[in-house]
A and B are shown apart, each in its own frame.
Chain A
Amino acid sequence: MAHLLLRQREIPDISELDIYKKNDGFAAFKNAVTKMSPAQVTDVVKNSGLRGRGGAGFPTGMKWAFIDNKNWPHYVVANADESEPGTFKDREIMEGNPFQFLEGLAIASYAVGANVAYVYLRGEFWQLAAFLDEKIAEMEAAGLLGDKLFGGEYSLRIHTHLGAGAYICGEETALLESLEGKRGQPRVRPPFPPAFGLYGKPTVINNVETFANVPLILLKGADWYKSMGTADSAGVKVFSLSGRVRKPGNYELPFGTTFRDLIYTHGGGVQDSRSVKAIMAAGASSSLILVDNDKVLDTPMDYASVRALGADLGSASVIVIDDTVSMDWLVNKTVHFFRHESCGKCTPCREGTYWMSTIIERIHGGEGTTGDVDLLLNVAKQMQGKCLCALGEFSTMAVVSGIERFPQDFRKAVTPAPPLYAMQNAEGADAERV
């Protein structure tokens, strides 16, 4: 099937305005502004079953309908922070098919009555922001952005805004703080952005890939979109495949494609023909999926099926881990990431990620004891449910699932606890080993 999002794979010059226009570009935006009411646009998106691609999978049309129409002005913000380890899809969408993303952003802005939209890009996307600025200028020159579009009353301007290196700014309320020129620390919710967002005004925030789906949904209809994917996860998804595979990269496939298809048919299989030991389906924030039988690889990648494996599909950033990798090494990597990225606003996350990194470093460095493994698991579980935002929770995922699903990797890495310690911790699971 031809690509719907990564259309540059078939139409290499689709990043040029005239080529994009020749391929139905901006027909949906023009039709929406000239022939549809904002509510009608939102309804089509609602009926399509489109869910947010930034990780949480929240129904997009429903989010747009939450916008508070008693408080003005409204804003729309594109989340182009893309910082989850293993995620690199938004970048390829914006680089290769920028107008489709911008058109989706424009349609969303019309649907919620916003006259200004921002694209918040991670600071590292400096070159990409300059490229988008050019594309936005071309749209302005072509009368696709600006005042009184298509001879009507609707006006829209789009601006890019660069972050400056902080994973937490991908969290939507931290992003808003950052966009307001403050430190990127999450807000206490509720209120949620559709009621209290940028500058305290009603704001819709969606992921880049979410927006990129919108023009085609409006052109071809909700039923067409729903005919792809699965009942709970409609449409297509860009899967970022990384780790120990032969052909890492972005693969646009319908929801419900199996892990096996992605890894073997598209990704060329595992490097050195090793076997898959574990999968992280949502980047470094994932629980580790234990791959100990063929059935696991045959799991369809949709939100519900991956959840049934005790994990999450999230942003569909599939990291493949083969049998050469020991999980104490892996958890050391993920915990260090989260310790570095914790914004420090709440104690459980700030202290918890610090302690987890100290303990896993000891374990991975060969200086840990079996008591340390219990302690690490304990710290992680203590954090769960107590953090202000999901980052704190994310930091515990690989720790808990790693220790519970791959206990032998941690046992191998440590020496037994000295007897005194074990006695003091007689409740501990490993006490009887001494």
Chain B
Amino acid sequence: MLLEKYPEEVKQILSKYPPEGKRSAVMPLLYLAQREEGYLTKSAMQDVAKIVGITETDVAALVGFYTLFHDKKDGKYRMQVCTDLPCALRGADKFLEELCGNLGIKVGETTEDGFITVEAVTCLAGCDKAPMFQTQGPDGIKYHENMTVDRTLELISVLRKSGREVK
């Protein structure tokens, strides 16, 4: 249960909004609930719904709307490579293709060990530092810019060894 597990965090989140705006806490709480598993379970969504006083259906609709919330288990780390126009003008499509080739997966797939899911995403506000991607995982969201395939593979092997992001 979210409230029992993170009482301080929940309290702190709720304190940001006025009483009539309690529902505003729903997205911060979903981030909190998603932290450990990397996706939102049904019971986590129920928890969040209860804390802010809205229905489960409302919560599910939010999870469906926003791309950074996930309702199914994928790789421990998501590697979200930007292939939008400005990055594509600087070689992002080729980078993504080579990366996937090296990992032996297609875009949207997860490596066999369940560690990395590679996705193509829209602009991340790092267009001058392409090729670039963000990792979304247990340590939050981190940017990796001016990347090469070699350095990305290196990052993955460090992550595999340490189980976490070092920076």
Q: Are A165 and B85 in contact (CB under 8 A)?
A: no
Residues of A within 8 A of B125 (CB): 82-83, 87-88, 90-91, 122, 124-125
**A378 CA to B88 CA in the complex, in Å?**
27
Residue of B16, B28, B69, B84 touching A85 (CB-CB under 8 A) = B84
Q: List 18 A-B contacts (CB under 8 A).
A: A84-B123, A86-B86, A87-B123, A87-B127, A124-B124, A126-B141, A127-B140, A127-B143, A161-B24, A161-B28, A164-B31, A165-B66, A178-B27, A181-B27, A243-B85, A248-B90, A248-B129, A250-B128
Whether A249 sits at the interface, judged by CB under 8 Å, is yes
- In the complex, the answer to whether A85 meets B123 with C-beta atoms within 8 Å is yes
CA of A243 to CA of B89, assembled, Å: 5
Question: Taking the complex as formed, is B30 at the interface, i.e. its CB lies under 8 A from any CB of chain A?
Answer: yes
- A-to-B contact residues, CB < 8 Å: 82-88, 90-91, 116, 122-127, 159, 161-167, 178-184, 198-199, 240-244, 248-250, 284, 319-321, 325, 330, 333-334, 337, 340-341
Question: What residues of chain A lie closer than 8 Å to B86, measured between beta carbons?
Answer: 85-86, 242-243, 319
Contact check, B89 vs A166: say whether CB atoms are below 8 A apart: no
Q: Does residue B149 face the partner (Cβ distance < 8 Å to A)?
A: no
Contacting A242 at CB < 8 Å: which of B27, B31, B124, B127?
A: B127
Interface of A is mostly: mixed
Give me the interface of B with A, judged by CB distance under 8 Å: 16-18, 20-21, 23-28, 30-31, 52, 54, 61-62, 65-69, 84-86, 88-90, 122-129, 134, 140-143
Provide the residues of chain B in CB contact with A91, threshold 8 Å: 125-126
Instruction: Report whether A242 and B128 are in contact in the complex, using a CB–CB cutoff of 8 Å.
Output: yes
The answer to whether B85 touches A180, judged by C-beta atoms less than 8 angstroms apart, is: no
Q: Complex: how many Å from CA A214 to CA B61?
A: 38
CB pair A164 B21 closer than 8 Å: no
Pair B122/A167 contact, Cβ less than 8 Å? yes
The residue among B23, B25, B125 with the most chain A CB atoms within 10 A of its own CB is B125
Q: Which residue of B lies closest to A168 (CB)?
A: B65
Cβ–Cβ contact A240 & B128, under 8 A: yes
Q: Would you call B68 and A124 a contact (CB within 8 A)?
A: yes
A85 CB contacts on chain B under 8 angstroms: 84-86, 122-123, 127
Query: Judging by beta carbons under 8 Å apart, are B20 and A184 in contact?
Result: no
Instruction: Decide if A162 touches B31 in the complex (CB within 8 Å).
Output: yes
Evaluate whether A127 and B84 lie within 8 angstroms (CB atoms) in the complex, with A165-B67, A166-B66, A181-B27 already known: no
- A289 CB to closest chain B CB (Å) equals 15
| Total A-B Cβ pairs within 8 A | 137
Bound: A153/B61 CA distance, A: 42
B110 to chain A, nearest CB (A): 19
Residues in B whose Cβ lies below 8 Å from that of A250 = 128
Q: Is the CB of A163 within 8 A of B89?
A: no
Contact among B62, B68, B122 with A341 in the assembled complex (CB-CB below 8 Å): B122
User: Would you call A124 and B85 a contact (CB within 8 A)?
Assistant: no
A88 and chain B: residue at smallest CB distance: B125
Known: A124-B68, A126-B141. 11 other contacts (CB 8 A): A83-B123, A86-B86, A116-B18, A123-B31, A126-B142, A161-B24, A162-B27, A183-B65, A243-B85, A244-B89, A319-B89
Across the interface, which residues of A come within 8 angstroms of B90, CB to CB? 242-244, 248
| A330→B141 CA distance, assembly (Å) | 29
With A124-B125, A330-B85, A333-B84 already in contact, the answer to whether A181 and B143 are too (CB < 8 A) is no
Query: Cβ of B65 and Cβ of A166 under 8 Å apart?
Result: yes
A240 touches B127 (CB 8 A): yes
Q: Which residues of A contact B140 (CB under 8 A)?
A: 126-127
B140 closest partner in A (C-beta):
A126
Q: With A and B bound together, what is the CA distance between A167 and B124 in angstroms? A: 10
Least distance between B92 CB and chain A CB atoms (Å): 10
- In this complex, what residue of B is CB-closest to A324? B89
Q: How far is the CA of A85 from the CA of B125 in the complex (A)?
A: 7
The answer for the CA separation of A123 and B16 in the assembled complex, in Å, is 17
Shortest A417–chain B CB gap in Å is: 28
Which residue of chain B lies nearest to A167 when distances are taken between CB atoms in the complex? B122
Smallest CB separation, A242 vs chain B (Å): 4
